[in-house]
Amino acid sequence: MPRFGRYSASRRRALETSRLTGRSDCSETDPMVPDLGFATRVSSPSPAHGSTDRRGGSQDQNPSTLRHNVWEREMKRLRATIRGLTAVLLALVARAVLDRPTPVIAISIAVALVLLLAARWLTHQGQKLQPPPSTEREHR
């Protein structure tokens, strides 16, 4: 037994089995790391009907619902990108004001500005293409 930490019974069995067989289970971590009691993800076979995707959502959803969910996720990512690019642009402008402007700073500001304008344009285009909100009545 390792000299520190408490191990669960299943962890002890796995360690003992790996010690006896000489091969370790690929799902096991370093045997010197104690079990802290966190639940581990166990893969289960997918159900025969109503299969789920990686994110846990159902693949049997209405196509308009899926379109709306994808649209919302992309708009959220674009808004986060705009916030990040705005912060980068402000930091570059502040650096150009505090230090003397150099060609590298000018090129960086130009690139950040072009990316920011492209992200804002994509957001504007995405808002024009907003799919109608999905309802559960459409699915039935």
Average pLDDT over residues 1-11: 60
Confidence of residue 130 (pLDDT cuts 50, 70, 90): confident
Residue 112, burial from CB neighbour count under 10 angstroms (0-12, 13-18, 19+): buried
Distance CA 25, CA 34 (A): 16
Report yes or no: 53 and 94 within 8 Å, Cβ to Cβ. no
The answer as to whether 31 is a domain residue is no
pLDDT in tens, 87-98: 999 999 999 999
The answer as to whether 55 is a domain residue is no
Distance CA 122, CA 76 (A): 12
pLDDT of residue 26: 44
Quick one: tokens of 122?
Answer: 């994509």
**Domains in the chain, number:** 1
Query: What letter represents residue 14's amino acid?
Result: A
Which among 3-12, 43-52, 58-67, 117-126 has the top mean pLDDT? 117-126
Task: Indicate the pTM of the whole model.
Answer: 0.51
Confidence of residue 67 (pLDDT cuts 50, 70, 90): confident
The answer as to whether 78 is a domain residue is yes
The answer as to whether 127 is a domain residue is yes
The answer as to whether 76 is a domain residue is yes
The answer as to whether 90 is a domain residue is yes
Distance CA 92, CA 113 (A): 10
Average pLDDT over residues 38-43: 56
Report yes or no: 86 and 116 within 8 Å, Cβ to Cβ. yes
Report yes or no: 78 and 129 within 8 Å, Cβ to Cβ. no
Q: Which domain holds residue 120?
A: 63-132
Q: Would you say residue 42 has pLDDT above 60?
A: no
How many residues are given for the chain?
140
Quick one: tokens of 48?
Answer: 């025969």
